Structure 1
Amino acid sequence: MSGRRQSARLSAAQTRKDASENGATAQSGGGNASRAKTTSRPEGSMSEDDWDAGDESPADVDEHADSMSEGEYEGRRPAKKQKLDKSPPKTGKQTKTARSTGKGRKSNKDCLLVELPLDILFEIFGQCPPQDLISLSRTSHLLRTHLLSEASRTIWRAAREYADGPPVAPGMTEQQWAHILFGKPRCQSCNAPNVHRVDYGLQRRACVKCLKLNLVVTSRFSRVFPELDASILDLLRYTNIGGHSHGHASNSRFYWQKDIEDMALELEKLDQDIEAGVSDAGKKHTFISERKELLKAINQHGRICSTWTVNASLRREEEKAEMMRKRFNDIRTKFMEMGYVEEDIEAIKDASSVRQATVLTDRGWKIIRSSLEAEIRATKTERLRNERFRIANKLYNAYKRGLNASQWRTLPQESDVFDHPAFKGILDSENDDAKSTEADFASIVALLPEIVSSIQAARSVKLLELIQRPPAGPVPEDAEPGDIPPSLPHPHAVDSALAVFVCKRGCRYLSWMRGNRNATPAYIGQDSAATHNCAASPYHPWHHTEPSVKTVFELSDRGVRAAAALVQTVGLNDRATCAQMDTLNARFLCKTCMPTRSGGGLNYAVYSWRSAIIHFVSSHVDKQVPQWERLDDARAESLKRAETDTTLAWACNHCAEHIARCETRTKVIEHIKTKHDIAEPDVPHDLVRVLDLEQTPAMVHIPGPGSKAEFNCLRCEETASRARLFILEGVKSHLKAKHKVGAPVEGRDWKKSPNV
């Protein structure tokens, strides 16, 4: 590109570069001239500008301020805010004293390190990591000169290799590469902090703001630099991560704007040298060829560095985790020396004061000890309490193993028993220094039969109070004063078939198994109510945390109506008992439910009398009057033989095999046949249903009128055809299709078979 075609943009860039060079020259010839004469530079050393020239930074603006920020960043350090001091001016003596006793930057004369021999200095430098070398280069002008010299290159390389850093980038020195990798995470353009990502394609560390301002994508190159040829991009470093991509790579290439300007000036200078006869065209071709080879090496090196960055991040996480493990181990050792056990100390493993990647010091231990010890003591208290509960639970299970499964059904839950004052005195003991044993419960175990009987009696009294409470019948809206409202059905005893209870605390575990979370389960009779526990799992009724004596039962009005309707359906009165209904074992259809149609008939769900009550209370919450129909005995017996109980509610009545977990009826029968050699197990002698879990109802098909094949065709002449049976619609269709009878008439064209 000739000088005549030089654009205003490139001219401005050249002007800025010349001004920067002139300013640096003028400054070096000023107040620092004496230092330049007295301080000799080692042979082959790098200048400070060479140290900072990795990303086109300006020359030093103040050699006395030996901070790296003076040369490694493109922007000038912001001026300090002037301090407003309204105190009277100091005299000459005061000023001299203040200067001599101040805490400002120490000179080289005050630094003992610079007085050491050079070989000892280099030995010290050889033991430092890259971060320390960078810091040392900013503490003293003399140290900076030595560390930036060519002679120190091996020191920087050894430090980089010890830190497991990637090879030095093409076109950069060891010092420049160490600064990019291990220097402070600041933007090299605007000095913004917390810039942790290094762009290895651009060989610089830049913040998002500077990336947005300085990156030029290939598609916008002709608009930003209309006077330049796009072939210049082949000579420039680039990245695939734009300023607006949030760190995600793309297929586009982004170039640093100042790189474009500098490369254009460099090519411009080569063209001018060729025109002036200073050099030939071969020099430019050589430059372009070497530049392309350099870019190829930079791209290959960038892929190596990207892999190193990922591995370094993982390595840092591992080192951090290892430091946290060591800190926890040190804390654990100290607490174990104080007498605590490892099981209790594990409780503080995730505490914020423990999960720190710092070494535990004596001062830090004094700060965190009290709070951590309080948490450990609380864990110890809870652990000992749980151990006491495990012992009590073991003893109560041993007591239950001595009973039959038929007695388990009405046994109080563990929490009810442990809530008894005799147990609470030991379970809630505040003595955390002694470990409890089974011997501590010996006197209480002897009282278990008495404790169980008292809990059962108290439960019966509460249920009886609900039965004896007079019912409150509904008052019609148009009732006149003095009118007596109709009385509701009411159970006469706790074993009445009308004694339907619900838990006021809203327990819904039976409904959860059906998927209906808004329903409330019902319990029929005293024995059924005894199986309920608010905090217990339906399959593990003895494992819970809250005493079920807190369960608040109430008599269910809707459940009583449903039970009364069922009792009337089978021909009994309101004084029928649960035992009488269990003996009848009838099956019922719910006429409130909408049946499904199939095969010309209707499909209904079939319920036992207990499951029918639970079904109405749970499913028909918006209905007040139940509608039942008793299934005829023939169909009922057929369904009973086909019914399969798949609920985990059964247990063997000869052993304690299912004390911890009930099983299905099929598995319990198989157990009885195998373990107890009983060929035909019987209910309730051999196996019992311990839990009142709702079964999936069986389905029955009720044929519609005329849906049974019981009609003969009178138009057929052959005997076999005349004996053929049709359903009503079938025989009419047959007459229309076969005999062309448009309006078949009973008695003339078809009749009901007398043999059906």
Structure 2
Amino acid sequence: MDPDIAQIQTSEAPEPSVEASAAPPPKKRAKTANIAQIQGALKRRGKKKSLSLLTDMPLDVIFEIFSNLLPGDLIALSRSNKAFRTLLFHRSSITVWRSARNNVPGLPDCPPELSEPAYANLLFTTNCHYCGRQGTQIIEWLLLTRCCKSCRENPAFFFDATNHPNDHKRDWLRSYLPSITRGRNTYVRMSDLAPFLEQWETQGNDNGGIDHLLKRSKEKTKLLKQRLLPHQLWDEQRNRNRELELDAIRKQRRRAVWDKLSETGLGDEKAFLNSSQKDFLRNMEGMKEPTPLTERNWLKIKDPIISWVQRARRERIREQRSAPYTTAINAIRPLLDAYGRTRPLTDCFPTTMDFCCIPQARAYIDELVTSGAALDAAHFTGLIPIAIQQWHNDASQHLYPLLPPWLIGTRHPDVLRSALVWFHCASKGSYPLPCNDTTIGYPRILVHTHTRHERRRVDEPQSPDDDLANAVCDIYLCSSYMLDPAQLKANITFDLHASFAAAEIVQLCGLDPSTASAEEMDELDARIACVPCKEIITWRKAVSHVYKPCHAGQREWVLLDDADCAALKKLEAKDRPKTTTGTFWCMRCRRFDRAMCNFFFSHKGLKALKAHMERAHGVVQFRPKYGVDYYVPDGEPTNDNERPLPVMYKELDFKVSTPELIALGW
């Protein structure tokens, strides 16, 4: 705080001379102006005037002028030069400060703890009274001061009772001493706390004296709060009025901005903005300043504002164009989801974007959009498998060029479904997901991550294809990825080594490699023991297992007999995700487009799954059944993390009966 404001100076200012004021003023002589004087006056008109002689005026005139000012103006004058400072802080200037205070409507009288200049400084300046930093807007009325955060947290000025181990002590300090309260934080001024503790120490063990001290401090603090309550209410009302004034100026500025936008042809866009867009535009730089809009200001802020409004117009037009397709896709999605739940988890479906681009499905969607007819559920349900089969056929055409010539000449009717057909993903990128499945079979290769590209939104749609893509992108949990022949050609190659390993395994299982299909091998569901690694795996895992770095290329297979295979499958059935920590997916929440579903609808443990079923589906199931109520995500069967997991030789809980394994000492 300024020491000259806190305490009025006691020095006396010079009084005007009585003799000089009693003598009559001299008569003025009429002056005649000539041409030279007029020209000189015109030359001096542009010179800067000085107010240095203002202090030489009579005091009653100066006081009369100052009495019409506001307290904040007097504070500014006192800081302009030493002459005003000496004059305004003189004891005789108290009437000027009081008159200035009366010019403020509703302002309460000066508290007895402050002088008139200190009261004006408290109300009409924003300087911190401890460090002088500007911008301290809040007045601490119990302390009659302004305090910034850094000074409030300075232990030299305040005692911080926030982290006191006894919460009662913090509340106790609030009751007996003036303090600053910020939520649960309490700060007590050290200049108030030190004398209070000294008085406490002087009482010693006198409980009566301590009780009297506490009672007196509590009453004093309570009276201080009551006495300063009108000042606090006035300050709060002033802040509210100021906010209303600033809001009015901001509204006027925003109206002026929209007037400028109307000149550019964007004024009509105001009626189409939603609440979130209005809030965003309202808080943009150049729209929230509490100053009138000038031409110079508009030149500075117009580019980002015009750009944002143009983008909002493009989004509105894009949403209007894609709205019919959004309605049609939302109508067919429940039928797609219902069909997907009836199919095995191993089936490979196209994404929503791929399905909508299938000619049969696209023709039906266009018919719904153009005619506005209602959806025929029975007709569309019969159309779904036809469209999916067409997608499989069209997508498979991009795989035939990758096959070796000797494989195309086999006797298998559909060469892609041969057990010898395996592909390798050579992608090393990490977007959208790193490739953990390098050996991939058919038809899973069609839904592999690195055979697709994302169809992004089109800001300025020009065709129905763009409108359809925007509709799919805007719908929640609809994948906008599509099969991309260019990505497939760049990342996917035929896995020749896996094909040779598959031929050995097929022959080991007693089938003809030239005619055996992958479906036949899956139906056989044999288990194969890898002798070098001493683990038992499925035939699909065996295809990729032998070429892993841990295997070192050694290969020796043993086919388990029927008894050992049945015993091993029972052992595999026990190795399911734990009911408390396992991750499960709700079967009723399965979506046709499972690429996005597996990420959002997982539940940790069966307890969370049962709570979800009761909350979301109204089904109370005490013992959820696998494959009926829940499932685990299906991935690439060649991945070691996918079930059934490999079983090590040491984990076998039964005595093997396969002769080859017995001979090896298993």
Q: Which has the higher helix share?
A: 2
> Which has the larger Rg?
1
How does the TM-score come out when normalised to structure 1? 0.45
State the structure with bigger RCO (CA 8 A, min sep 6), 1 or 2.
2
How does the TM-score come out when normalised to structure 2? 0.49
